[in-house]
Structure 1
């Protein structure tokens, strides 16, 4: 039976073209740690298209994260940015791709819908 992480990535795989990500290109890898084991997932962004692979490999951004935090983030219970600021997980490489990924996550109750905010280099200094 698929778990929540597999269901989430399968949903991304079936998502099709996403105009919110039309200007994003790169590879993001999540290394999800659980009881000493690491499960790797690669998300490839290519001008609005999303490809998913459960494998290790090179990426423009690598995120080492506890699996339980990732599960909470994909359910909307935890916020990716606050987890990073609290050093819950490590990011190596392009933060821009992490920000693009955040746009795919459900909103926490009471938050504005950040999925429709454009990612622009000029915004980065204001965040």
Structure 2
């Protein structure tokens, strides 16, 4: 069976990489618990691109740990912040990397990324 999280970061997440700030570069390791083992996936976020590989317990700027099923729900649109508050997802490392990493996640079905929202007011709210 294919891994939904790996498929997401190998495909759709790369299309969202333009939401990362210009010049941003970081590494993220996903430690996903599945069927009595922990899979380690290594992501490189570099110059608006995302690559994923299976490289063991390599050091990273941010390490995110969760049950594989929890992360599969997150890449399907569940709220990563809510999972963190429920302690279903934990991280260690640079918080700014986690914040930018979350830009790669899809968000709830039907939601829009920050650059896709049409407020109908010309985009100059508050001016």
TM-score (norm 1): 0.76
Structure number, greater radius of gyration? 2
- Specify the alignment match of 1:70 in structure 2: 71
What's the C-alpha RMSD, in Å, of the aligned pairs?
2.4
Asked whether 1:4 is paired with 2:35, we answer no
Distance in structure 2 (CA, Å) of the matches to 1:17 and 1:105: 8
Matching residue of 1:29:
29
Q: Which residue of 1 aligns with 2:17?
A: 18
Counterpart CA distance in 1 for 2:5 and 2:17 is 20
Structure 2: 5+ residue stretches without partners: 117-127
| Aligned residues of 1:12 and 1:50 also touching (Cα < 8 A) | no
Count of residue pairs the alignment pairs up: 114
Whichever structure has more helix as a proportion of its residues is: 1
In structure 1, the gaps of 5 or more residues are: 118-127
Structure 1 outlier segments of 4+, above 4 Å: none
Q: Distance in 2 between matches of 1:59 and 1:102?
A: 16
Contact 2:10 2:51 in 1 (8 A): no
